[in-house]
Structure formats: structure tokens, C-alpha cells
Amino acid sequence: MFGVGWLFLRGRAMTETDWLATTDPCKVAKFCRGRVEPLRFRWLALDWVGRIRQFIPEEDDRRYFDAFAAWMAGTGEHPDQVCPGPHYHALVIWVHYVESAIVSVEWLRRNDPMTASAWAAESLAEYRPRGEGESIDATKTHRPRSAKKLAILKAEQDERQRRERMAWEERHDRVRREFCEQFRCVSGDPFRPVAFDPRWLSETAVALATGIYAERAFDRMPILADALEEAGCDDADVLSHCRGPGPHVRGCWVVDRVLGKE
């Protein structure tokens, strides 16, 4: 059944509560595989892979993403038409965020922007600036000092590393949470599929959705909810999504449904 999650979390199937609460990019993408059309996430991939372009080590992979961006902007052909064929790397990896960036582009080459965006989010979340978190032995980087002074230096070093670790963990969690919230805006709730009634698609609703999509004017989402409601929409999930705090992104499942992009 569509509404039953068979992605296992610690030995059990994913529930709707899990789905709404998780901040794991790859889990939400894996769960939606086969349930949601991957190409609906092309705008999300454009954003998130663009954020980690600097981490992509291979020039041909960066070129592929640039061609993808041009195609999305309507100024170029599909990247498969202008870039080399699938390029697979022997994953001899330096650091985790670089590996995730490479995997992200590989999924983009497989025409799966949904999974590509998730790996890009993982890459950005894992990123740690050069030098941050590196351990320095105070006893070997200073000329001989008293035991008391060395103890003070070591305590300062430990405190600095603690603050850096806490800052990294906060950034890591914030990036993953931001991505999953945006992902759910695009996917909708796979446990609650909505059948759009054509009668909801009034001229006013379609005009509003067109403007929201073209201008990224997501502040108009509550107005779209009013228009849909006036046209007879009484679906709580549709209306609450439009009137909720968001975040909303291009590819939003309600806007796309109103515009017939699914």
C-alpha cells in the first residue's frame, strides 16, 4: 500500500510521526523513492548542489552541474546533451563532505535530483572549515613552561575545541533540519496523498499559483489557500500547508498541483 512505509528505522517501519520528525536527508529521500517523482525536486537540487559546488573536486562534475543550472534557467540544453557520459569515481575520499558532494553529482547524472539534493545537504552539513576541530598539543607548541602554565594552556585548548564542536553540531543539525523541511514542502506527506478536484482550479487560484511559482512569492500562499477554499477545496492538508509557516520553496507540492506540474 502507498501509505505504508517500508523504510526500516532501527528495525521498524517508518511511521508518519517519523516522517514528520526526521532530520536525516537521505532517509527522507530513500523513503520517497518510488513514491514521489524525482524530477519534482529539480529546483531543490539546483539550490542544494549549488551550495556545495565548491566541494566538488572533479572539473567535469562541476561542468555537469553548471550545464544543469543553465538547463533549469532555460538558457542551455539538458546536461546529458552537452557533457560527457556518466562519470563514476573510484571513491578514494579525502573527507566525508567531499565524498557526499561526489555522490550528489552522480545521482544528478542518473536523472535523480531528489537523491542528489539529499546528498548535497549531507555534504553541506558535514563540512568543517580547514583547521577547525584539529587537536594541538600545547606541551609541544610552546617553549618549556611551568606545569601550571601548561595546564592553563591545555584547559584553554580544550574549551576552544568544545566551543568549535558545539558550533559545528549546531550548524550540522540546522542544515539537515532546513533541508528536510524544504524536502517535505516539495514531496507533501506520502502518508496522506491528496486527490485534487479539478473544480478547485479556478482562474484566480491558477493565476495566484503562477505568480507564486514565477516570482517565488511565497508570502502569497495564504491568499492561494483562500482562493482554493472559495473554489470548494476543503482538504485540511492543502489549506494548512498554504497557511502554515513554511518554509516554502519552488516545487511546493500544492503550487505544482494547481499548475498541473505533476
pLDDT at site 168: 74
Domain extent at residue 103: 8-129+172-187
What is the C-alpha separation between 262 and 253, in angstroms, rounded?
A: 9
| Percentage of the chain exceeding pLDDT 90 | 58
Query: Same domain for 13 and 32?
Result: yes
Query: What is the structure's pLDDT at 8?
Result: 43
Q: Is 182 found in the same domain as 230?
A: no
Task: Give me the mean pLDDT over the 59-88 stretch.
Answer: 85
pLDDT digits (tens, 9 = 90+) for 159-200: 777 787 787 788 889 999 999 999 999 999 999 989 889 999
- Provide Rg for the chain, Cα atoms: 23
pLDDT tens per residue, range 207-249: 999 999 999 999 999 999 999 999 999 999 999 999 998 899 9
**What confidence score (pLDDT) does residue 132 get?**
53
Determine what percent of the chain falls in helix, strand and coil, rounding each to the nearest 5.
60, 0, 35
23 falls within a domain: yes
Q: At 221, which amino acid appears?
A: M
> Rounded CA gap, 43 and 68, in Å?
10
The residues with which 167 forms a beta bridge, in sequence order, are none
pTM score: 0.83
pLDDT band at 201 (very low <50, low <70, confident <90, very high): very high
How many independent structural domains does the chain possess?
2
In this structure, is residue 155 part of a structural domain? no
| pLDDT-wise least confident of 43-47, 64-68, 121-125, 166-170 | 166-170
pLDDT-derived band at 1, boundaries 50, 70, 90: very low
144/135 Cα distance (integer angstroms): 19
Domain for residue 167, yes or no? no
Residue 158: inside a domain: no
Distance CA 189, CA 51 (A): 26
Angle between helices 42-51 and 59-72 (to 10 degrees): 140
Identify the pLDDT of residue 83: 82
